Structure formats: C-alpha cells, structure tokens
Amino acid sequence: DIVLGRDRGALAGRVTVEGGGDAGGVSVTVSDGATTLQTVTRSTDPVGAWDVDGLAVPGTYTLTFERTDLAQQVLSVSLDAFGQVTAGAPSADRVDVAMRSATAVLHGRVTQTLGDGSPAQNAPNVIVTLTSGTAEWRVTTASTPRRDAGLFRIEKIPPGTYTLSFARAGTRATSQIVVLTAGQVLRED
C-alpha cells in the first residue's frame, strides 16, 4: 500500500489586537525563502481572518504580520508532507496571532500642594511636555469639568526614553524620565 500526501498545503488563522480593536488590513507575508506569498486580513466579517494556499509541503514557513499602527509579529510554522502543522501552531487553520499597538499612551493627573499642610489639589492648566530630543508632545491639563481637573493624556508615542516635564506660571517646574514600550499604557501622576 502507498499513502500519497498532498501536493500543496494551506495556512489560515485570525489576527486580533490585544485589548480589542480592529485587526483588519494587517499584511500577512508567508515565505519559505524560495517562495513568498502575501495576503491581507479581512476588514469585514470575520474581521481579521486570513488564509494562504498553494504552499509547498513539506516545508517551514516564516509568517510576518504587519500594520503601521501595530508592532510587527513574526512566527515560524512547519508543515509535513500531508499539510499538517508539526510546529508553530495548533493546526493549519488556527495560525492565530494577537498583535499589540506599536505606540504607547501616557496619562495621569497633576496635583499641587500649597505647602500649608492641606491635602494636594488637582492642578488645571499645567503644561505637560514629553520630549525625546527629536520629538516633542505638549498638552495642557484639563480645567473642566471639575472632576477631570489636572488630567492629561498623550497618545501614539513611539517606544523610547523621554523626559516628562510639568510647568505652570507661579510654580516650580518638575521633570522626570519615563521609558515607554510598544503597547504600554503608562499612568504617571
């Protein structure tokens, strides 16, 4: 008896974004070094689904998932002569990836003490500056509504080391160093 294997294999899966969000429009590149195939994840139901067929078997493939606002994800999947996954994923149709944001978010609340022993109070209209030497973000803390006074938020910050400064007329400015990583949401009060 002879058992024949498949002449071609296929891979498929779903891309999600950590913390929720749209996973449509992610570029998927599948390569074994000799052949490279590309597709894009669906932006309609089922959002984030992708598939590639016509893969030579047996073979080991490098899969690269990319979208400008998400951190690149790379994984390796091996297929046997029957198109079954031997390493890298649970099965050929479940090569799923959870991607994370390529940028960080920095937020917090600025408070001020009067120096008379009274408790700290929310500080509206403080200029918050985040700088890396080559890039700078500047926001002002909220003044209204009252419950949001002193709040600030800076989004879409590339990973790196930054100086975070707080300044307002009539007060002493203060600074600190913050290190941000891709996908991080950092609270600095």
Query: How far is 43 from 48, CA to CA, in rounded Å?
Result: 6
Helix, strand, coil share (%) of the chain residues, nearest 5: 0, 50, 45
| Predicted pLDDT at 157 | 94
Taking residues 119-126, report their average pLDDT: 93
Taking residues 102-118, report their average pLDDT: 90
**Contact call for residues 1 and 24 (beta carbons, < 8 A):** no
Taking residues 36-64, report their average pLDDT: 95
| Predicted pLDDT at 180 | 95
Take residue 97 and report the two structure tokens written for it. 């990836």
- Checking if the pLDDT of 6 tops 90, the result is no
Query: How far is 166 from 161, CA to CA, in rounded Å?
Result: 17
Residue 50: pLDDT band by 50, 70, 90 thresholds? very high
**Percentage of the chain surpassing pLDDT 90?**
77
Taking residues 125-152, report their average pLDDT: 94
What residues are paired with 132 via a beta bridge? none
Which residues have a Cβ under 8 Å from the Cβ of 45 and sit 6 or more positions away?
none
- Checking if the pLDDT of 45 tops 80, the result is yes
Taking residues 78-105, report their average pLDDT: 93
